[in-house]
Amino acid sequence: MLGYIAKRTAIAVFVVFATSALTFFLLSLIPGETAVTIIQRVFVGDVTYNPSQAEIEATEQIFHLGNPLWMQYLYWLNNALHGNFGTSYISGRPVLSEILVRLPATVELAIAATILSLVVAVPLGMISAARQNSKTDYLSMASATFFIAMPNFWLGLILILLFSLHLDLLPVAGYGGLDNLILPAITLGAGMMAVTMRLMRSSVLEVLRLDYITTARAKGMDEKRIMYRHVLKNAMIPVITVAGLQLGYLLGGTVIVETIFAWPGIGKLLIDSIDARDIPIIQGCVVFIAIMFSLLNLLVDLSYYFLDPRIKYEKV
Amino acid sequence: MITRRKVAIIAICLVLLSSIMAGCIEKETQEPATTPLMPEITPAAKEAKKTLVVGEMWSIRGVDPAKRGSFVKEKAMIVDTLVEANPDFTLRPGLAESWEQISDVQWKFHLRKGVKFHDGTELTADTVKWSIERALKINPPVKAVTMIKSIEVVDKNTLLFTTEEPYAAFPASLEYPNLGIVSPTSGTDDKGIIVKPIGTGPFKFESFDVATGTLYLLRNDDYWGKKPKLEKVIIKEIPDPASRAMSVEKGEVDFTCDVPYGDIERLKTTPGLKVELHPTARVYQLTFGNLSGTPYSDERVRKAISYAIDREVISERTLHGCAEPAIGPVIPTIAWANKGLKGYSYDPEKARDLLAEAGWRDVDGDGVLEKGGEEFSVTLYTYPQRPGLQPMAEAIQAMLKDVGIKVEVRVMDWSAIKEHMTNKDMKLSAYALAMVPDPDYYLRRTYHSEGSYNLWGYSNPEMDSLLEEGLKTFDPDKRQEIYDRVQEIALDEVPLIHVAYYKVAVVMRDHVKGFVFNPIAHDYMLNPEMYIGKSND
């Protein structure tokens, strides 16, 4: 068990490191000069401003943009290992604090959406499977397809239109109380819920075909008990995997939903920074997302152990 | 078995919970003073009718006036500049009561007496010098705009500025929002960036929530001008245009701008809202890759393209009234606009004739003109940051197709266009006409052979000498003559085509009163006379 954790941690560290290097070099491929963008965004506030050479040179000096790329990367890596992820070009604030300030909002939204999707999807998926090809099954699968196909920016706007403008129940946008959380969580959770529901259904169907279920039925166990005691837990394994991965995605921020609802999360920070070529922040966000993702993957793997003791880590 | 599952779930929950808490704790220690909770904008607060809530279109990433001048001065009203501008772009005294020219390169500025910063310290020549020198040091374009060489303190209320060269636009350049005067007592972070600006403006900084991008302002009761009527102003970023529209519709914000074009008609008829469309100092311009060695080297081709564009349709239909057909290079309400100019009318017949005269004919009958075996087929580049650009580009595409020019529209990031665009392509952009209220700013950058906007290589010795002359002509009437001529040549030789003037759509609740639009603003500008009155319905 310990050896397994160590191995997985080593892989996670490698992933994070490789991601950071890859991002750094890919970012340098974005067309356009960083100094020009800084002048436009920070100093003038006009994206069409054409700076003179003198202005560009002065700016490059302020932000140390003159060094060769590999040197910039080593410099960054050295600082990062000492806990200093650099300073945002745009706001001038440390990258770490920019990310941490936005973390609670993102975590709150991601968890709310995940819980919402699981609470709805798991029972519905089970019912669908238990009553395969019934009306309930068709209805819930059809609505799942609908929710998967629906783009979330559209759903978000429709929800605002309905619940905020027409019914006047919830705020349009912003961050703060529980009422602010409801619409973004539904918007984000809807697609996830649909995917999870379909997965749950097929997973339950698969388990239902296994021998031990037949055995359980043969010994006269009632259907409900079979469902809860034998099917649910085994069917949950793929669902947990997917939910964990999705939570990882969500913790990286959800650009569209955060933008629509003016939700101050990491996704919004990332997209603002990409737009403004705020490379230290982009770099910081990507590394942060990589860390989150690796960590959650690890947690998901470990949770299998509790769900299915047959999975032995030593053999992996 | 069941207990194991429970343990798994509890364990995951605990890890996640602790990460939330870690986040919260970090947040508190990082941002002790500047992270208030999002205020509940409750009905009770609205009844007080003294708070204005503004939905801002850009993400708010800082409050240092030297870097974010247009936000801190025009929207937050925290700082004032020495010189201010009227809606027709003429100058009026700001923190400087008066100024006089001493020599070609020297200007004396007399400060308004008895002005106090928000913390009660007095505005003196020393603090002004400190503030302007700080901006010069940390913001490179300030130097280019002001050409300041040195600043001397003559006495407590007088400053002597020396410019690098004779610069007639100097007083106007002090209106540059990045030169908003801040007190040295302003709160800074460990890198010297101002996080708690102390200015002299009608509103003072209360707090700024970094995460939600929300700025809280309080009335400055000791304001040197007319006392503002609002008690509080809250500016919160809502970068999504559709969300801005719905926020103002629901009343979560009282004032916002730049809503989706398609929503304007609906908002106009929504009870409780008023919509105003104002032309601002920004112009949509169509530019060419290069004026030599391309079809555009022939002036007749450039004119033909200008005649082929139906500016009326673009402004009224394509952009839903959020633009005004352009005549000359600058908006006609600006004091220095050449009022005698007649723009290019929509005349596709004439456009076809001019193209034929220039030797462009449709030889193979496919609807696209050819000359010397080459098709007139180009790419029109534009960028996504201004919502009017793409629909406008598509309208121009259709209009040019009508006269036999095949156009492909490509939308990409502003900085990427430079690397894709070839000499025979075109670009549609929205340029600021006046970062400072003086004709020199836009005209010299655009029409001088060495101007930084002039990427297409326009060069006319008469134009160059006029623009250089304008820089060192201090007599206002003579100066006007010069710039009248500049605009005349610009229109006649069409080195670039002005399509339309930018209009900003301001949407507010009808209880917002006293708002006066000032086109000098880069997007919109709030004014201290605004107040919350009775709703009209």
Please tell me the distance in Å from A172's CA to the nearest CA on chain B: 6
Which tens digits make up the pLDDT trace of A43-86?
Answer: 877 777 778 777 888 888 777 777 777 888 888 888 888 888 88
Which tens digits make up the pLDDT trace of A202-240?
Answer: 888 888 888 887 888 888 878 777 877 778 878 888 888
- Torsion-angle region of B278 (φ positive above 0: left; ψ -120 to 50: alpha; else: beta): beta
Nearest to A261 by CA among B239, B254, B52, B234: B239
Please tell me the distance in Å from B408's CA to the nearest CA on chain A: 21
Question: What pLDDT, on a 0 to 100 scale, did the predictor assign at position B129?
Answer: 96
| Residue B34 near chain A (CB below 8 Å) | no
Q: What span, in angstroms and rounded, lies between the C-alpha atoms of B18 and B9? A: 14
Question: What pLDDT, on a 0 to 100 scale, did the predictor assign at position A313?
Answer: 54
Q: What span, in angstroms and rounded, lies between the C-alpha atoms of B245 and B267? A: 8
Question: What pLDDT, on a 0 to 100 scale, did the predictor assign at position B33?
Answer: 37
| Residue B242 near chain A (CB below 8 Å) | yes
Higher pLDDT, B348 or A246: B348
Distances A6 to A288, A309, A314, B330 between C-alpha atoms, Å: 20, 20, 12, 67
B406-411 and B255-257 beta bridge pairing: unpaired
Question: What pLDDT, on a 0 to 100 scale, did the predictor assign at position B24?
Answer: 40
DSSP 8-state class, residue B193 = -
Q: Which of A47, A62, A181 to mutate to test the interface with B (most CBs of B within 10 A)?
A: A47
Domain with CATH 1.10.3720.10 in chain A: 96-315
Say what angle helices B299-308 and B348-357 make with each other, to 10 degrees: 160
Calculate mean pLDDT across residues B210-235: 92
CB atoms within 10 A of CB B379: 17
Asked whether residue B186 carries a pLDDT value surpassing 90, the answer given is yes
Top mean pLDDT of A50-64, B296-310, B365-379 is at B296-310
Cα angle B477, B478, B481; round to 5 = 90
DSSP H helices, A131-219, are 135-149, 152-159, 178-208, 211-218
Which tens digits make up the pLDDT trace of B36-55?
Answer: 344 445 444 444 568 999 99
| Residue B238 near chain A (CB below 8 Å) | yes
CATH number of this structure's domain A96-315: 1.10.3720.10
Report the predicted TM-score, pTM, of the whole model to 2 decimal places: 0.79
Which amino acid is residue B82, in one-letter code? Answer: L
In chain A, which residue's Cα lies nearest the Cα of B61?
Answer: A91
Please tell me the distance in Å from A129's CA to the nearest CA on chain B: 22
Q: Choose the closest CB to A172 out of B15, B247, B445.
A: B247
Please tell me the distance in Å from A135's CA to the nearest CA on chain B: 32
Q: Phi and psi for B381 in degrees, rounded to 5?
A: -95, 145
Read off the pLDDT band of B26 (50, 70, 90): very low
Question: What pLDDT, on a 0 to 100 scale, did the predictor assign at position A125?
Answer: 86
Asked whether residue A3 carries a pLDDT value surpassing 50, the answer given is yes
Mean of all residue pLDDT scores within chain B: 87
Q: Choose the closest CB to B243 out of A87, A262, A277.
A: A262
B contacts of A253 (beta carbons < 8 Å): none
Query: Do the beta carbons of residue B268 and residue B249 sit within 8 Å?
Result: no
Query: Do the beta carbons of residue B152 and residue B104 sit within 8 Å?
Result: no
Q: Which of B25, B35, B61 to mutate to test the interface with A (most CBs of A within 10 A)?
A: B61
| Residue B18 near chain A (CB below 8 Å) | no
Instruction: Classify burial at A205, counting beta carbons within 10 Å of its beta carbon; exposed 0-12, middle 13-18, buried 19 or more.
Output: middle
Least confidently predicted of A276-285, B283-292, B422-431: A276-285
Question: What pLDDT, on a 0 to 100 scale, did the predictor assign at position B407?
Answer: 94
Calculate mean pLDDT across residues B12-34: 42
| Residue B24 near chain A (CB below 8 Å) | yes
Looking up tokens 């007399």 gives B110
Which tens digits make up the pLDDT trace of B509-521?
Answer: 999 999 999 988 8
Read off the pLDDT band of B31 (50, 70, 90): very low
A contacts of B71 (beta carbons < 8 Å): 45
Q: Choose the closest CB to B141 out of A33, A39, A103.
A: A39
Beta bridge mates, B429: B285
ipTM over 0.90: no
